[in-house]
Chain A
């Protein structure tokens, strides 16, 4: 199903993306028929617990998963209409860091310890642009200043271990933005940082998104972060998208029982926090997925039919989709 949920054409679009992992001898889907869209100058937050497949989705876009253990199982990854899944590895290498970039969760281990930060940024430029070393250095310095590293010129020749976690994350952002990509994939970039630093990085990302007009896919498990930066949200569970909506709608009128549970589980200053609600049970293993709805075993709205048929993603509002037969029925399918 592919009706437009956004007013502007998407810069990045996933259509029924399926990624499989090899467990034992057989292939199992970790990402199942995921469809997402990101437009320019927009942040799409992808939310879910560990094991929901959100990181795998991002890595599948850039085809960064190890070839021996994972494979593309179907669907398309469209960047401005070009299917990335169909490109050769050589073509893909050209696009990485240039048209699409990615930043990762662990700034402490995600930078090469034997290269200066300046050189690592310049490398991103030199791999894609035909410039002299001097010019690359100048451009790299520019972007280092753009991410607000104090005394950037002096710190250009420092090594990663001489920076704090927050600073290293800024360096990673600088590396990612060096070639002015159209799309930025951010895989939990603030999860490993202190809360105060987190806020700084989030606001930096926001500014840069607007300045460059990028489409940002922001992966997180933290709904607080979602509230801060997202324009639209997609909730993932067990490799599927179970709900998508713009951010206000999601927080005001969550539809999917999983989304509701996530929101209830969030500690809130304004709520009655005598008890924290957790969701009973755990995320199913990808080689042990339940028949029917993946969330059914943990769902308080579970009916008999939920355990037989796998529900489809259905529209319940202008920008709101939900994968739950019970809820869709309650609201009337607007297809």
Chain B
């Protein structure tokens, strides 16, 4: 219905209220909380030492003692899963944080300065986006070598381009606004204008998209680990657990199913939350990538 035919009505108006009403966001928040708690309190929650090998008990199906079974070295799957959440969450979070900071900074720079700088940065974005995401991650991780830090760097690189775009657009719009003009007239330097005046106005949009892309980062981490480019063993991440479990897929289904479920639940929770946040803050905001 166009605005012409809308009746005059008194309406409530609040982002927080919209968020609260959304059932999906509650499920998302709840699941996420569970996982974060599991990660933080891993030493208390995990029944066994995730590194402890027990050859006598290898490849046991789920039982009363080993709730989710054991892997080919006799290690308890549940404990590895719980400890694995730490690595997966850490990697995803830090990678996104790096991508968000650097990406936003570049985006604001591009939008604010414009001209040649803008062209160069957007050219960089185009190049980054011309690589299939996973392959870019594979390439970087392969070249740098397998380690926790390199994994984070690789994932951050794959996630940086959308942040640049998302930071640039509102910057261009905000640049024209009166309060920025006023600031410039008062003699504020560009750094101050960018950091203090422009940044806070778009931070909420960026953070919302950040949560959505953290889901993407965790998926990428799992995929990279599955392909063998993740954190080297014996540290457990969900992706590498699936990789190891894949070799025994014919007779030990629990090795792949439970880490899969863990990944799915985490990514789903982040997606639900991100979707709900996005709908609550600005229904017109579109995501840059799936």
Contacts and interface: CB of A to CB of B under 8 A. Distances in A.
Interface of A: 21, 23, 28, 30, 50-51, 53, 55-56, 59, 65-66, 69, 104-106, 187-188, 283-288
Nearest to A50: B8
B7 A286 contact: yes
Contacts of A286: 7-9
Contact of B1 (A53, A65, A105): A65
A193 to B, nearest CB: 15
A288 B2 CA distance: 22
Contact of B8 (A51, A59, A69, A188): A51
Nearest to B2: A106
A105 B4 contact: yes
Interface in B1-25: 1-2, 4-5, 7-10
22 contacts: A28-B7, A55-B4, A55-B5, A56-B7, A59-B5, A65-B1, A66-B1, A104-B2, A104-B4, A105-B2, A105-B4, A188-B4, A283-B8, A285-B7, A285-B8, A285-B9, A285-B10, A286-B7, A286-B8, A286-B9, A287-B10, A288-B10
Contacts of B4: 55, 104-106, 187-188
Nearest to A55: B5
Query: Closest 5 interchain pairs by CB?
Result: A51-B8, A30-B7, A55-B5, A286-B7, A285-B10
A64 B4 CA distance: 13
A26 to B, nearest CB: 12
Contacts of A50: 8
A271 B97 CA distance: 66
A206 B62 CA distance: 84
B114 to A, nearest CB: 28
Contacts of B7: 21, 28, 30, 51, 53, 56, 285-286
A63 to B, nearest CB: 13
Contacts of B2: 104-106
Contacts of B1: 65-66, 69
A145 B4 CA distance: 30
A287 B8 CA distance: 8
A139 B99 CA distance: 60
A50 B10 CA distance: 15
A23 B8 CA distance: 11
Nearest to A109: B2
A99 B1 CA distance: 23
Contacts of B5: 55-56, 59, 65
A15 B205 CA distance: 51
Contacts of A56: 5, 7
A284 B8 contact: yes
B87 to A, nearest CB: 47
Contacts of B10: 285, 287-288
